[in-house]
Amino acid sequence: MNEDLTKEELIEQFKGNKLLKYSTYVVGAIAAVVLIVLAYQNFVSGPNEEASKAEIAKGILFLEKDSTQMAVEEFEYLTSEYDGYSGGEIAQYSLGNLYFEQGNYEAALKELEGVEIEDTYLQTLAIGTQGDCYSELGEYENAVNMYVKAAERQENEVTTPMFYFKAGLHAEEAGDFEKAASYYKKIKEKYLTFSSQKGIEKYISRAENSIVE
């Protein structure tokens, strides 16, 4: 892959890609793969950073071709080889997402827990996807905790209400309807666009009506 590709060209290559479809499911309006591309274009300089940047391009190329297993192997190598560098952290984030896509939720959780990325959204999404892993494993209370952590990491109009909503749904699954109602109310009070789109009032009513006196 040409390392001088523009952001738009890189994003265009991901249209129709399986991982992009998955990431849209997980993060809603913000596609995780697009964020990987953005981070990929903004590594700091330095020999190891430049080397990891070139290697990341190979992993992205595999994803663009839907060669998922080859991408997994590439990102496994990068995660180990460039641990502590930008490329290694982004590779680990990508690897966690790929494991999730394959249904290997425990492996995905392990990788995502190790991710440390300065980029606000990527780190937030890494935390939120840990919640998705716990959800798939049936550990709803742990899922709630991760969703709330993701929601409150840095408040914004997109990820904050999205993860509060997931926290509410999973709090209901865990039988904590009072907590669920509180998350829905946060959305109603501060995030009007999301609240309107989801019809948040019905979720508040459902949770409150389920509270046992």
Each residue's pLDDT tens digit, 63-120: 777 777 888 898 899 888 888 777 788 889 889 988 998 899 999 999 999 998 876 6
SS3 state at 133: helix
The residue whose two tokens read 């990891």 is 52
Residue 127 sits at φ, ψ, to 5 deg, of -65, -45
Q: How confident is the model at residue 146 (pLDDT cuts 50, 70, 90)?
A: very high
Domain ranges in the chain?
19-118, 120-212
Same fold yes or no, 19-118 and 120-212: yes
Fold entry, domain 120-212: 1.25.40
Each residue's pLDDT tens digit, 30-73: 345 555 555 555 544 455 666 766 777 777 777 777 777 888 89
Q: Residue 16 corresponds to which tokens in the numbers above? A: 């129709």
For residue 49, what is the DSSP state?
Answer: H
CATH number of 19-118: 1.25.40.10
Percent of the chain with pLDDT over 70: 73
Q: Per-residue DSSP letters for 52-120?
A: HHHHHHHHHHHHHTT-HHHHHHHHHHHHHHTTTSHHHHHHHHHHHHHHHHTT-HHHHHHHHHT---SSH
Instruction: State the pTM of this model.
Output: 0.77
